[in-house]
């Protein structure tokens, strides 16, 4: 099937296939475009309704947790801590020694200890509204940042320490996503407060980070309502449809929180360690020190993308999330750590649509459920790889919507082509049944003719098929005869020019002459001709079968117009012309012919005359083309002098199996004929000259060829005397041949 697909792709570029390929490509383009647009619109609509948002956010969380994403997006190794930050945590062990809430004296003692080690900024992430003398005893409070809590639905504001200037206070609020997962993925850095006491515009994390950067001369600015900047670094803020968000509440200045691995965020010391002088001054000097509680008994914490990781706690303390935010801001400015970016809506739509086209195109060209599953899975993995690769560069590209369009389009096209194939198969089966009825009537008419000859002892009048004169003679008002390719008892084959098509392309015209011209015989012959033509019209859509361009009746003679295949017959490649073929060449012949037989047999059609002269090697792309689907030869009576039995038992001696000559051909009859061609190629002996085993009836040939045991066993099974002992499908033979190739 794969080689068949490649042949189709190569055929697009062949000049003599322009008409067929243009038609096929137009049909593929029309159906695939229609399907892909419909599927993309459907998925896009579902996405706009937020029905995919939870899936997309889970994918985002998974990629965020990926060690590769951490390594690339943060521009440093996974296990590298941010050495600019020191966390002073208040643990359950600390609370066992200290009462909660911590006393004013304990807080001031902690601040004095830390201040003596000369940190750059101290952030106190604790609510201390009742403390009247915060940082008492310190010479300056400019580098100390306190916190408050904004009011929200059902919750009053928690004011900052009363003796602290509001410029040194940041709100401690964190925003989570929808009510389903309540995961903190965003940082609300600046907001307009309507409270009476917690009036700060800065979040705690933003204020400590900005204060830290100001010590290096980096100033905050708001160039417009969609950006803020720190020095030369511009921070774009979230929009309502950023990434995979739909209808996001993007009020204030928000950015996506690009988490650092929680295990390696920053150095940590405990409250007790600082108060008991167990902390080296070098750990504190010139750093951003953030103080906060990690004790679950005080606050259970918040859900984050790491909550789904079995190696992490289900919730993360607020102080650690603020430290993540502060680290991200500082790293973006000082380390050029990339911010997470997305595409505009129109680019995302095109991206989703392209993958819908890919899924539809794959299904259209493969048309095999198992192969589609394999190739579709590889394509889906490629999509995941591309999205993951872009995330390594901090790009948040939709994954779920294009994956859905890829799958839905592929299934839709496969369902459509399967339905079309089933309808074509039903049509062919119906025509084959009609064909059988007509054949039986023809057989009766031939027998009547034979009885007449026997009774009156003189032959029935023979109809002589006149050959058309080449040159100016035009058939059907458009086909100008240029050359006679062959003639026989059933008519003539001509090379002709189609005068009504651009460029006057060459085609093949087959003249089929009925054996008798009486009305009754012509009526039966006409029915056979029409059913045969309708079958060929369906089969000709395969690129290894000549396309039926037209069929018509003129002067009681029947004509088929087919695509011209430039090249030579397979007979010219077989001994004694070319000498005995090697095993690789025979394998190639078998596979290429079996591919077209698989297609023909899927439509329940038996060729009945597989032989070297009915297989053409196309000179342009080396493909093998099967010609002469010859049930129409049944319009001729039998002739004992001919090697072809042009009766109900059509076939060629040596290639046709016994049941075919008995008038009961089966699908495996074509497999028998192909096997005999392969044996002829290996031995150089025509099938008619091979001797059968007197006990089994199987042909004896192995001693005449140098062939591997594997291929010999396959050929033996293809040409068994009893049809029930043979391969029953072309697909089964192909599967065994693949084992040899592997």
Q: Which pLDDT score is estimated for 596? A: 92
As annotated, the binding site for ATP includes: 510
User: 296 pLDDT band (50/70/90 cuts)?
Assistant: very high
High-pLDDT (> 70) share of the chain, %:
83
In the three-class reduction of DSSP (H, G, I as helix; E, B as strand; rest coil), residue 85 is classed as: strand
Q: Choose between 65 and 321: higher pLDDT.
A: 321
Tokens of 554: 């003129």
pLDDT confidence of residue 650: 67
| Res 252 pLDDT > 60 | yes
Mean pLDDT of 41-54: 93
Q: Which of 609, 693, 716, 725 is the catalytic position?
A: 609
Please say if the pLDDT value at position 455 is more than 70: no
Q: How confident is the model at residue 467 (pLDDT cuts 50, 70, 90)?
A: low
**Per-residue pLDDT tens over the stretch 526-571:** 777 777 787 788 788 888 999 888 888 888 788 889 899 999 999 9
Provide the token pair at 477: 């008002």
> What is the mean predicted confidence (pLDDT) over 301-311?
92
Residue 674 three-state SS: helix
Q: Look at residue 468 in the predicted model and tell me its pLDDT.
A: 56
Instruction: For residues 608 and 625, give the distance between their C-alpha atoms in angstroms, rounded to a whole number.
Output: 15
Contact 567, 627 (CB under 8 A): no
- Please check the confidence at residue 206 and state whether its pLDDT lies above 90: yes
Name the most confidently modeled range: 56-70, 341-355, 622-636, 647-661. Answer: 341-355
609 is catalytic: yes
Find the Cα–Cα–Cα–Cα dihedral 193, 197, 200, 201, rounded to 10°. Answer: 0
- For residue range 663-720, list pLDDT tens digits in order: 788 889 999 999 999 999 999 999 999 999 888 889 999 988 989 999 999 999 999 9
Per-residue pLDDT at 401: 97
pTM of this structure: 0.65
Q: Give CA angle at 559 (530, 605), nearest 5°.
A: 45
Q: What is the mean pLDDT of residues 448-457?
A: 44
Give one DSSP letter per residue of 594-660, joined into a string.
HHHHHHHHHTT-------GGGEEEETTT--EEE---GGGGGGS---TTSSB--SSS--BTTTS-HHH
Work out the angle between the directed axes of helices 667-683 and 583-602 (0-180°, nearest 10).
170
- In whole angstroms, give the CA distance from residue 306 to residue 317: 12
Residue-wise pLDDT tens digits, 343-379: 999 999 999 999 999 999 998 888 778 888 999 999 9
Mean pLDDT score across all residues of the chain: 83
């Amino acid at each position: 099937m794969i080689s068949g697909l490649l042949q189709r792709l190569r055929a697009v570029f062949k000049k003599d296939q322009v008409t067929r390929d243009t038609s096929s490509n137009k049909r593929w383009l029309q159906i695939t475009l229609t399907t892909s647009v419909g599927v993309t619109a459907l998925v896009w609509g579902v996405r706009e309704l937020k029905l995919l948002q939870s899936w997309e956010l889970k994918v985002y969380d998974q990629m965020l947790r990926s060690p590769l994403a951490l390594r690339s997006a943060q521009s440093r190794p996974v296990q590298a801590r941010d050495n600019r930050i020191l966390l002073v945590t208040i643990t359950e062990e600390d609370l066992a020694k200290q009462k909660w809430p911590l006393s004013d004296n304990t807080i001031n003692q902690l601040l004095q200890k830390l201040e003596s080690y000369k940190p750059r900024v101290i952030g106190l992430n604790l609510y201390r509204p009742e403390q009247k003398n915060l940082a008492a005893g310190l010479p300056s409070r400019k580098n100390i940042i306190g916190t408050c809590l904004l009011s929200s639905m059902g919750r009053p504001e928690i004011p900052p320490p009363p003796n602290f200037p509001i410029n040194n206070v940041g709100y401690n609020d964190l925003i989570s996503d929808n009510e389903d997962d309540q995961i903190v993925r965003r940082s609300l850095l600046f907001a307009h407060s309507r409270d009476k006491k917690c009036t700060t515009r800065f979040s705690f994390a933003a204020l400590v980070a900005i204060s830290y950067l100001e010590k290096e001369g980096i100033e905050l600015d708001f160039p417009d309502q969609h950006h803020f900047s720190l020095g030369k670094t511009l921070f774009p803020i979230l929009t309502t449809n950023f990434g995979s968000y739909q209808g996001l509440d993007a009020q204030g200045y928000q950015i996506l929180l690009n988490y650092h691995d929680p295990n390696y965020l920053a150095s940590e010391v405990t409250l007790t360690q600082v108060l008991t002088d167990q902390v080296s001054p070098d750990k504190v000097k010139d750093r951003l020190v953030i103080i906060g509680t990690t004790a679950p008994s005080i606050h259970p914490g918040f859900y984050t993308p790491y909550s789904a990781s079995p190696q992490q706690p289900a919730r993360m303390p607020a102080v650690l999330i603020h430290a993540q935010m502060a680290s991200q801001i500082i790293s973006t400015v000082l380390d050029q750590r990339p911010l997470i970016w997305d595409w505009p809506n129109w680019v995302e739509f095109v991206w989703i649509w392209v993958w819908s086209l890919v899924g539809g195109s794959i299904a259209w060209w493969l048309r095999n459920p198992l192969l589609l599953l394999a190739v579709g899975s590889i394509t889906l993995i490629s999509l995941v790889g591309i999205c993951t690769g872009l995330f390594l560069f901090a790009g948040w590209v939709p994954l779920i919507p294009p994956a859905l369009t890829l799958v839905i389009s592929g299934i839709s096209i496969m369902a459509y082509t399967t339905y079309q194939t089933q309808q074509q198969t039903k049509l062919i089966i119906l025509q084959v049944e009609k064909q059988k009825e007509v054949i039986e009537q023809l057989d009766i008419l031939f027998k009547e003719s034979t009885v007449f000859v026997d009774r009156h002892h003189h032959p029935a009048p023979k109809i002589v098929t006149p050959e058309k004169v080449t040159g100016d003679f035009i058939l059907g008002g458009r086909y100008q005869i240029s050359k006679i390719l062959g003639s026989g008892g059933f008519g003539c084959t001509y090379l002709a020019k189609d005068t009504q098509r651009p460029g006057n392309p060459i085609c093949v015209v087959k003249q089929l002459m009925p054996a008798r011209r009486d009305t009754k015989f012509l009526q039966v012959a006409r029915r056979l001709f029409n059913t045969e033509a309708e079958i060929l019209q369906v089969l000709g859509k395969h690129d290894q079968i000549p396309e039926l361009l037209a069929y018509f009746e003129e002067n009681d003679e029947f004509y088929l117009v087919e695509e011209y295949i430039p090249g030579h017959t397979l007979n010219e490649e077989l001994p004694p012309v070319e000498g005995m073929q090697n095993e690789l060449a025979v394998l190639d012949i078998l596979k290429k012919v079996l591919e077209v037989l698989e297609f023909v047999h899927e439509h329940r059609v038996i060729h009945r005359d597989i032989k070297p002269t009915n297989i053409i090697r196309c000179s342009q792309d080396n493909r093998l083309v099967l010609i002469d689907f010859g049930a129409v030869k049944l319009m001729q009576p039998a002739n004992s002098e001919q090697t072809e039995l042009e009766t109900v038992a059509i076939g060629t001696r040596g290639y046709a199996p016994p049941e075919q000559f008995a008038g009961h051909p089966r699908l495996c009859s074509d497999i028998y004929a192909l096997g005999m061609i392969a044996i002829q190629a290996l031995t150089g002996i025509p099938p008619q000259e091979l001797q059968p085993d007197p006990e089994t009836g199987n042909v004896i040939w192995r001693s005449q060829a140098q062939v591997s045991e594997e291929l010999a066993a396959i050929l033996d099974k293809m040409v068994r005397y009893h049809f029930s002992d043979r391969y029953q499908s072309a697909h089964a033979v192909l599967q065994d041949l693949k084992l040899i190739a592997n």
